[in-house]
């Protein structure tokens, strides 16, 4: 059995879904297909959640009607208008969207993160419904499985932690491959907590879902289909001389995704290493290309690899009274950041100051307000963090020249530079 995962960009148009169908039709193995939300649906649903939080009903309805139109045009592009399958799909989509509308109307629990799970999961529910129906009616017998029946998580909404033992147990019966069913479609990104509330695994979390499914069901491999030829040595939009990395070890891939390479969700690699399941990252644009293969054996040699994270903020925390015990202050402040689901990308400390680099955003600003209770907090925003693996002085110069460096850290193989955000290419 093989697991294939398709991201939002690969199924953002009827042609994309047909392309998925073609890939599936060329594969004789039993399959589990994991899909993300189509195109930019997740971003739009995040805006619905914000509107729900602000109780802005007009805005909720406006965005959801746009989402409905987009998915209906997908359905019209894939099936004949007026045909039974076309009608069936449109009512399935309407049903799912109406459920969210009534949730936003009736919901008295205005916890932002809880509502996020209930609202933003709609994207994957819509895409999986359409993809499954398309495969089942055009390509091969396929069934839809709701990921919330087997991905069991804690209640850390928006960044839920997966309970592996319970999930493994639920997975035993989730994909029975009975009768003539040899293909299943399910959602990435979503799960449910022990109360049955919908949770999400963090932005771009579908890769992680696919890795969990592949690992716990003992798949032969996981293939992630992307809009790039594989894992590249840098983002080609920023660094035109980026090259394809044909082979990587799990360790390399885990590090690169941590540093911000546009490879895959950070947590993807671990479940695969546990069972030694190979991961292939391939181009859905040119399915003939071999892509990148990631396994325990392969090693990244001396090729320089560049990863960038934009929209970073450097938060510096100073004690109010010079009484810093570094360890205590670190723990206290890290716990606050953890509560806001912030991932720390870089730490620097001096006897009187801890500086932490994280993604900027709504949660970050709320966390800063809370950090201010413990100490004086200053910050620099609109920063970019560049990491170069296998760096040379020349490369450091090339990418940081004429830019203000706030922090530069390096060891023998890796340099990390926090820079003011200026256009540099
Ligand atoms: N749809 C979710 C997102 O855009 C999950 C994913 O794409 O992996 O973040
Ligand atoms: Mg996505």
Best substitution site from 43, 189, 265 to test ligand 1's pocket, by max atoms within 8 Å of Cβ?
A: 189
List all residues 6 or more positions away from 250 whose beta carbon is below 8 Å from its beta carbon.
269, 272, 273, 294, 295, 296
pLDDT at residue 160, as a whole number? 95
Best substitution site from 9, 151, 160, 206 to test ligand 1's pocket, by max atoms within 8 Å of Cβ?
A: 206
pLDDT at residue 424, as a whole number? 45
List all residues 6 or more positions away from 331 whose beta carbon is below 8 Å from its beta carbon.
none
pLDDT at residue 236, as a whole number? 85
CATH code for residues 2-226? 3.40.1160.10
36 Cβ inside 6 Å of ligand 1 = yes
What CA–CA distance (Å, rounded) separates 99 from 114? 16
User: Structure tokens of 218?
Assistant: 């003992």
**Residue burial 120-157, b: 16+ Cβ < 10 Å; e: rest:** bbbbbbbbbbbbbbbbbbbbbebbbbbbbebbbbeebb
Mean pLDDT, consecutive 10-residue stretches, the chain (425 aa), reads 97 98 95 98 97 95 98 97 96 98 86 95 98 96 97 95 98 94 97 98 96 97 94 88 92 88 86 96 95 86 89 91 72 90 91 91 94 91 95 92 93 94 58
8 Cβ inside 6 Å of ligand 1 = yes
pLDDT at residue 319, as a whole number? 78
Packing angle, helices 57-78 and 14-25, rounded to 10: 50
List all residues 6 or more positions away from 160 whose beta carbon is below 8 Å from its beta carbon.
117, 153, 154, 191, 193, 199, 200, 201, 202
pLDDT at residue 6, as a whole number? 98
3-state secondary structure of 221: coil
For the chain, what is the radius of gyration of the CA atoms? 23
pLDDT at residue 399, as a whole number? 87
CATH code for residues 305-424? 3.30.2130.10
All structural domains of the chain with their residue ranges: 2-226, 305-424
pLDDT at residue 298, as a whole number? 67
User: Structure tokens of 96?
Assistant: 């799912």
Alpha carbon of 392 to ligand 1 centroid (Å): 35
List, as own/partner pairs, every contact residues 158-161 make where C-beta atoms lie below 8 angstroms and the sequence separation is at least 24, other chains included.
Answer: 158/113, 158/116, 158/117, 158/199, 158/200, 158/202, 158/341, 159/200, 159/201, 159/202, 159/341, 160/117, 160/191, 160/193, 160/199, 160/200, 160/201, 160/202
116 Cβ inside 6 Å of ligand 1 = no
**Strands (E) located in 252-404:** 279-283, 292-295, 305-319, 346-350, 353-359, 375-389
188 Cβ inside 6 Å of ligand 1 = yes
Alpha carbon of 190 to ligand 1 centroid (Å): 9
pLDDT at residue 425, as a whole number? 43
203 Cβ inside 6 Å of ligand 1 = yes
Alpha carbon of 70 to ligand 2 centroid (Å): 16
pLDDT at residue 286, as a whole number? 95
235, containing H or E segment: none
Same fold, 2-226 and 305-424: no
118 Cβ inside 6 Å of ligand 1 = no
């Amino acid at each position: 059995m093989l697991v294939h995962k398709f991201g939002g960009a690969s199924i953002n148009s009827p042609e994309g879904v047909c392309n998925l169908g073609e890939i599936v039709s060329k594969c004789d193995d039993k399959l589990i297909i994991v899909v993300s939300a189509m195109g930019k649906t997740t971003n739009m649903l995040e805006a619905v959640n914000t509107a729900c939080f602000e109780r802005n009903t007009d805005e909720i309805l406006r965005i959801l009607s746009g989402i409905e139109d987009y998915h209906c045009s997908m359905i019209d592009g894939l099936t004949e208008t007026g045909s039974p399958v076309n009608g069936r799909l449109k009512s399935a989509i309407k049903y799912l969207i109406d459920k969210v509308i009534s949730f936003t109307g009736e919901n008295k629990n205005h916890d932002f993160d809880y509502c996020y799970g209930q609202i933003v999961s709609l994207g994957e529910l819509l895409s999986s419904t359409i993809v499954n129906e398309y495969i089942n009616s055009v390509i091969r017998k396929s069934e839809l499985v709701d990921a919330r029946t087997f991905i069991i998580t804690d209640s850390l909404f928006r960044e839920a932690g997966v309970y592996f033992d319970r999930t493994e147990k639920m997975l035993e019966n989730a994909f029975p491959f009975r009768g003539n069913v040899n293909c299943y479609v399910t959602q990435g990104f979503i799960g449910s907590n022990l109360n049955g509330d919908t949770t999400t695994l963090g932005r771009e979390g579908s890769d992680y879902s696919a890795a969990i499914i592949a690992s716990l069901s003992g798949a032969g491999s996981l293939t992630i289909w992307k809009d790039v030829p594989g894992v590249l040595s840098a983002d080609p939009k920023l660094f035109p001389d980026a090259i394809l990395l044909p082979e990587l070890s799990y360790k390399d891939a885990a590090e690169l995704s941590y540093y911000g390479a546009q490879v895959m969700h950070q947590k993807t690699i671990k479940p695969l290493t546990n069972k030694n399941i190979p991961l292939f990252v391939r181009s859905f644009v040119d399915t003939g290309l071999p892509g990148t293969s990631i396994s325990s054996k392969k090693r990244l040699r001396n090729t320089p690899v560049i990863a960038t994270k934009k929209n970073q903020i450097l938060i510096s925390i100073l004690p109010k009274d010079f009484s810093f015990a570094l360890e205590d202050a670190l723990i206290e402040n890290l716990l606050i950041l953890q509560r806001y689901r912030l991932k720390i990308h870089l730490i620097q400390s001096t006897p009187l100051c801890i500086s932490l680099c994280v993604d900027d955003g709504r949660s970050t600003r709320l966390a800063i307000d809370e950090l201010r209770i413990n100490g004086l907090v200053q910050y620099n925003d609109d920063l970019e963090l560049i990491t170069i693996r296998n760096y040379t002085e020349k490369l450091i110069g090339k990418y940081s020249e004429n830019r203000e460096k706030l922090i530069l850290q390096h060891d023998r193989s890796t340099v990390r530079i926090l820079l003011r955000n200026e256009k540099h290419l």
